[in-house]
Amino acid sequence: MRIMDLQKSLTAVLLMLACLILAPVVHAAKVLPKRMTVDQVAHLFSSKSSIATVTMRVVNEDGQRDMSMRIWSLGDKVLIRITSPEDEAGVAILKAGSDIRYYLPKSKRTVKIPASMAMTSWMGSDFTIDDLVKETFLTRDYSITTSFEGTRGGVAVYEYTLTPKPDAAVVWGKIVLQIRQADSVPTWQGFYDENGALVRGLTFSEYKTVGGRNIPTRLVMQPADKTGARTTIDYTDIAFDVPISAATFSLPNEK
């Protein structure tokens, strides 16, 4: 009996040790995919390189405006150039590392954009400069928690709530990100102020497979305080991991 009791005691100790050893591993297994998914969403339209053609439609109290743009990305460089309408063609924004510059063809001037202005509107739209050049680092600047796991609108989703880390230089009080469980693509993203009020919401739709990845090709940003206002971005063409010369990433008066 003593031998059997000893064996039981040893088994219990080994099981307890196994639980203690595996607990951090299990926790990491749950945390890692969450961070990876958020990082994947943050880099949804970028890879080693990419070239895209997009149309933007701005609807507000002043009416409707349409623009077409070309977007190039290579590493930490992003160039956005308006191609139409004619009176705005050539307006460009260039990000290289943390440096952001704005080119105005009518005055042939290049203006450096300070970090504090990266959250300003791009060409009167509901998208900011930061939205377009992807200056914000979600997994670096925010802590991530799962705030919902279940079905919404007949679709199984995860909802993540991102709250700023103590020393993060960000403007949002929190960001809520909803993704589909099946393929980890985003369906909605909400941006909230420090008081927890929704400032604007971004809806993703029109999913297509491009270069082996499933991406939404329509993005609709809606401000919470302006009824009927919205900005729609449609990706009419995008290619990933294509050859792009580093010389592409310069503004006209820098060549």
Q: What Cα–Cα distance (Å) separates residue 252 from each residue in 36, 95, 249?
A: 37, 14, 10
Cα dihedral sign, 107-108-109-110? positive
Among 182, 233, 227, 183, CA closest to 204 = 233
Q: Please tell me whether residue 245 adopts helix, strand or coil conformation.
A: coil
Tokens describing residue 225 = 């305080």
The predicted pLDDT at position 36 comes to 86
Calpha distance 12→9 (Å, rounded): 5
The predicted pLDDT at position 125 comes to 95
In this predicted model, what pLDDT tens digit does every residue of 42-69 receive, in sequence order?
A: 888 888 899 999 999 999 998 999 999 9
The predicted pLDDT at position 252 comes to 81
Domain extents for the chain? Answer: 40-69+126-239
Among 116, 139, 95, 121, CA closest to 200 = 121
In this predicted model, what pLDDT tens digit does every residue of 183-229 receive, in sequence order?
A: 999 999 999 999 999 999 999 999 999 988 899 999 999 999 999 99
The burial class, CB within 10 Å (0-12 / 13-18 / 19+), for 116 is exposed
Q: What is the pTM of this model?
A: 0.84
The predicted pLDDT at position 44 comes to 84
Tokens describing residue 148 = 């919902």
> Please, where are the H alpha helices in 53-147?
129-133, 138-141
Tokens describing residue 245 = 């010369």
Lowest mean pLDDT among 26-30, 42-46, 48-52, 230-234: 26-30
The predicted pLDDT at position 227 comes to 92
Task: Print the SS3 string covering 35-77.
Answer: HHHHHHHHCCCCCCEEEEEEEEEEEECCEEEEEEEEEEEECCE
What's the mean pLDDT when you consider all of the chain? 86
Q: Between 14 and 107, where is the model more confident? A: 107
Among 185, 183, 191, 180, CA closest to 224 = 191
Among 103, 44, 85, CA closest to 238 = 44
* CATH code of domain 40-69+126-239: 2.50.20.10
Which pLDDT band holds residue 136 (cuts at 50, 70, 90)? Answer: low
Residue 9 confidence (pLDDT) above 70? no
In this predicted model, what pLDDT tens digit does every residue of 73-116 receive, in sequence order?
A: 998 899 999 999 999 999 999 999 889 999 999 999 999 998 77
Residue 248 confidence (pLDDT) above 80? yes
What is the average pLDDT across 234-239? 95
